[in-house]
Amino acid sequence: MADLLVLGIETTCDETAAAVVSRSPSGAGDILSNVVRSQIEDHSPYGGVVPEIAARAHVEVLDHVIAQAMADAGVAFSDLSGIAAAAGPGLIGGVIVGLTTAKSISLAARRPLVAVNHLEAHALTARLTDGVAFPYLLLLVSGGHTQLLAVEDVGKYRRIGTTLDDAIGEAFDKVAKMLSLPYPGGPEVERQAALGDPQRFAFPRPMAGRREPDFSLSGLKTAVRLEADRLAPLSDQDVADLCASFQAAVVDVIMDRVKAGARFFRERLGSGPTALVVAGGVAANGAIRNALNKTASDIGTRLAVPPPVLCTDNGAMIAWAGAERLSRGLTDPLDLSPRARWPLDPAPITPRA
């Protein structure tokens, strides 16, 4: 069998992205091109992503982004084995733009369409970057999602835990907003945290010590808000200390919840994970990556985190997930509908009250 060559298209949120990736029959991946056009400038005046602006921006630039990805890779549409697009979950206007474009190319080039779940793409990226084998424990931490999953195979994801309220990236973004830091907040909070004292404020560690591997962030976020209100007007040092103390609390919570998740994994699957994999935009955070390195060794496995550019939204992860699905003969019809909501595993690993 020859290598698979797949074009991937990502438009579910605020990055317009396309990439060409190859996959050998043995499962080795190679990124031939990876073009990301961020919409940060379009949304920053509003302090967050505006769905209508996002959809229009995707329409304007997607053709160019795809042309660039194809040119960088030095391939023609007729060379492709398939066209992959994120068909959800995400902002529906943007998803429609990417999926419709993928369908058009699929029809014109007579190559199969592969509809990829955006979360699945984050989940499988570590197989492209680190060749991780199944089954592994995945911590998926982005702006919209915070989940612990057992990744057993392509298309086989069992949810172990999730957040009961805010996603971790969302909490970073909200803390940034309340401290008047620029959007997107995550990287900015990390930058400020490096200048601050993580012990100045004793913020809560919600859910720590609980058996169920779930998360809760809203109490922590509120604690930061109350402290910021109490101190106002904030000095630069106050902002840095608030960020450092908030990030320290998040790090502690993540370490504790991942350990609870590893226990669940072992109980349900009968053996430990081949790796602890971290994916999604928050995995770009250096403090969180360092902490998880220690957690991985505590739970008797290794840590695999894709490089930051492959943790935040990109086309290569969609192309790779498309290649993984294609390698198993999984393709999709051209009348497939985009999905704003699309859980990886609608049924959690155990029923919960």
Least distance (Å) from Zn ion to the CB of residue 186?
A: 12
Report yes or no: 198 and 247 within 8 Å, Cβ to Cβ.
Answer: yes
Nearest to 241 by CA among 198, 202, 204: 198
Which of these segments, 127-135, 281-289, 315-323, 333-341, binds ligand KG4 (CB under 6 A)? 281-289
Could you say which of 47, 48, 51, 144 contacts ligand KG4 (CB under 6 A)?
Answer: 144
Residue 94 interacts with ligand KG4 (CB under 6 A): yes or no: no
* Site size with ligand KG4, rule: CB under 6 A: 20
* Partner that binds at residue 273, options ligand KG4, Zn ion, none, CB closer than 5 to 8 Å by kind: none
Q: Which residue, 51 or 144, has its beta carbon nearer to ligand KG4?
A: 144
| Contacts (Cβ under 8 Å, ≥6 apart) of 304 | 126, 129, 130, 132, 136, 275, 276, 277, 278
- The residues in 284-313 that bind ligand KG4, with binding defined as CB under 6 A, are 284-285, 312-313
* Partner that binds at residue 285, options Zn ion, ligand KG4, none, CB closer than 5 to 8 Å by kind: ligand KG4
Which of these segments, 51-59, 77-85, 179-187, 296-304, binds ligand KG4 (CB under 6 A)? 179-187
Q: How far is CA 135 from CA 131, 138, 225, 255, in A?
A: 12, 10, 40, 20
- The residues in 105-164 that bind Zn ion, with binding defined as CB under 5 A, are 142
C-alpha to C-alpha distance for 271 and 301, rounded to whole angstroms: 11
| Contacts (Cβ under 8 Å, ≥6 apart) of 153 | 134, 135
Two structure tokens written together for 250: 């998040």
Residue 187 interacts with ligand KG4 (CB under 6 A): yes or no: yes
Report yes or no: 182 and 188 within 8 Å, Cβ to Cβ.
Answer: yes
Q: Which residue, 140 or 181, has its beta carbon nearer to Zn ion?
A: 140
Two structure tokens written together for 127: 């197989």
HSE-up of 115 (CA within 13 Å, CB side)? 17
Least distance (Å) from Zn ion to the CB of residue 55?
A: 17
Residue 227 interacts with ligand KG4 (CB under 6 A): yes or no: no
Residue 249 interacts with ligand KG4 (CB under 6 A): yes or no: no
Residue 201 interacts with ligand KG4 (CB under 6 A): yes or no: no
Q: How far is CA 284 from CA 49, 142, 183, 201, in A?
A: 19, 10, 16, 24
* Partner that binds at residue 198, options ligand KG4, Zn ion, none, CB closer than 5 to 8 Å by kind: none
Nearest to 269 by CA among 133, 123, 157, 150: 150
Two structure tokens written together for 313: 């939204």
Residue 143 interacts with ligand KG4 (CB under 6 A): yes or no: yes
Least distance (Å) from ligand KG4 to the CB of residue 195?
A: 15
Cis peptide leading into 182, omega within 30 of 0? Answer: no
Q: Which residue, 80 or 321, has its beta carbon nearer to ligand KG4?
A: 321
Residue 313 interacts with Zn ion (CB under 5 A): yes or no: yes
Q: Applying CB under 5 A, which residues contact Zn ion? A: 142, 313
Q: Applying CB under 6 A, which residues contact ligand KG4? A: 13, 142-144, 169-170, 172-173, 184-187, 190, 280-282, 284-285, 312-313
